Structure 1
Amino acid sequence: MASSLERKSHPKINHAEPEDEITKEEEDESFCYAIQLVGSSVLSMSLQSAIELGVFDIIEREGPGAKLSSSEIAAKIGTKKPEAPMMVDRILRLLTSHSVLNCSSVAANGGSDFQRVYSLGPVSKYFVNDEEGGSLGPVLTLIQDKVFMKSWTVLAWIILMDCLGLSWLGLSWITLIRRLVYTWHCLKLLKNCYKAIPDNGKVIVVEALLPAMPDTSTAVKSTSQCDVLMMTQVQGGKERSEQELMALATGAGFSGIRYECFVCNIWVIEFFK
């Protein structure tokens, strides 16, 4: 009889034990975490943006326990751009999903709606300038500096060329430029779909959803990172909440939506007439 060591080292024998099997929930969690890792640079860039805009200092100056909406924060930043509160909110929602900030809701529009308000959490204090103007902000700025980042690219090329048996000098003249420019007119597209399908027709949408209030789950972290990434790379691109998706569907003329199935943080959704 082969020893346990021999069985483990033999490539043709599969002795997987029941504990090696993972559940669907664990598989979905692993997928969400993989997506989070792919977009992990979005978190540091969002944190850098919040520091440069002075978000942490703005909330700190309002006093202990202060809670500010993205509109109030945008106003204190001093920007006049109408889309600024929305952009700030998306960045802060991502930071909340990573426990950098706290988020709660307050009534708005006479109680018929709500808005998110943000406050400092235990982690936030390290990004607030102290009495001497010190914080972890400059450290993050250094790491995000283009010279610092370029060193990682050079390192990757050196390793890659060594694996391929190529010299650095032999390929030093190569410059790779990759730029993807997107324009996302999803409402216009959905209106055209609505006109094209029959009365009993439907449009299948495959989409991730953001919760109305951010939490710290892996799914929300990965979706929030994708949301902020799209904000910077895709004109008009965004992840939506259930309410926003319904507004998009009805805005295009559809009667409603049905959620058919959910796999790895992605919904398969029907828009129906």
Structure 2
Amino acid sequence: MASSLERKSHPKINHAEPEDEITKEEEEESFCYAMQLVGSTALSMSLQSAIKLGVFDIIAREGPGAKLSSSEIAAKIGTKNPEAPMMVDRILRLLTSYSVLNCSAVAANGGSDFQRVYSFAPVSKYFGNDEEGVSLGPVLTLIQDKWILHDWSDEHCLKLLKNCYKAIPDNGKVIVVEALLPAMPDTSTAVKSTSQLDVIMMTQNPGGKERSEQEFMALATGAGFSGIRYECFVCNFWVMEFFK
């Protein structure tokens, strides 16, 4: 028999276990999920469209438990586009698949067919205006459209801001909603988030970047503004007023 020393001198051979095989159904589900991720921007665009068209407010005005078809919603929007009911239905069908709305079927054409009708889901109320006119709609719009300055280089921002300066009256102001980078980085979640966004801007938008307080002041004064008032800080973003 080999000694313990001899036994130790021979490396132990590990035979890798074969990878677990996935079923055809699991493979198809993985592919569908990958395609969902690829097309995920359609969700935020559809949600923003529904908000801007007033879909959530239209359903809410009909009272608790209201169920409206896409044709009824399109009529209340006031559009004259004959394809509007079909287009609205396709948007709301997507939102229903994410449980943003509920959908049920009612009989149509004398019972020989059915029609989809849409109603509020628990999350729907956050996208329609409440009693004080508040909703998450402006936040979504901010994410989709309003982040303007961080998309552009200093040169482009100055051109944009100079045009704004000329267009507003002597007591006018330009409202800017942007993140602020600190002069020195720290390990807070807020700074991590803003720094990540800064790198995304660098790699995806040539010239785009997040800016520090000093950099925003340079833009403001370079465009002719007297200064900046920092009005409020919400969800890691500053609401700033560039004033003459």
Runs of 4+ in structure 1 off by over 3 angstroms are: 146-161
**1:21, distance to aligned residue in structure 2 (A):** 2.2
**1:26, distance to aligned residue in structure 2 (A):** 1.1
Q: Deviations over 1:83-117 (max 9, x none)?
A: 00000000000000010000001111111111100
**1:128, distance to aligned residue in structure 2 (A):** 1.5
1:158 maps to what in 2?
A: 202
**1:146, distance to aligned residue in structure 2 (A):** 5.8
2:219 maps to what in 1?
A: none
1:25 maps to what in 2?
A: 25
Answer yes or no: is the 8 Å Cα contact 2:105–2:115 preserved in 1: yes
2:119 maps to what in 1?
A: 119
1:16 maps to what in 2?
A: 18
2:142 maps to what in 1?
A: 142
**1:58, distance to aligned residue in structure 2 (A):** 0.3
Give 1:72-151 correspondences, 5 Å limit. 72-145=72-145, 147=147, 150=151
Which residue identity lines up with residue 158 of structure 1 in the other structure?
M
RMSD between aligned residues: 2.8
Gaps of 5+ in 2: 1-9, 153-195, 208-244
Give 1:1-273 correspondences, 5 Å limit. 14-17=16-19, 20-145=20-145, 147=147, 150=151, 155-156=199-200, 158-159=202-203
> Secondary structure at the residue paired with 2:104?
strand
**1:36, distance to aligned residue in structure 2 (A):** 0.5
Q: TM-score, normalised by structure 2?
A: 0.57
Distance of 2:204 and 2:113 partners within structure 1: 53
Distance of 1:59 and 1:99 partners within structure 2: 15
Structure of higher CA gyration radius: 2
Q: TM-score, normalised by structure 1?
A: 0.51
> Secondary structure at the residue paired with 2:82?
coil
Gaps of 5+ in 1: 8-12, 162-167, 170-273
Flag the structure with more relative contact order, 1 or 2, with Cα contacts below 8 A and sequence separation at least 6. Answer: 1
Q: Deviations over 1:20-41 (max 9, x none)?
A: 3221111111100100000000
> Secondary structure at the residue paired with 2:66?
coil
Distance of 1:40 and 1:31 partners within structure 2: 14
Residue correspondences, number: 154
Distance of 2:204 and 2:112 partners within structure 1: 57
**1:2, distance to aligned residue in structure 2 (A):** 5.3
> Secondary structure at the residue paired with 1:16?
coil
**157 and 138 in structure 1: CA distance in 2 versus 1, 3 angstrom threshold:** closer
Q: Deviations over 1:142-170 (max 9, x none)?
A: 00016459479984473489xxxxxx78x
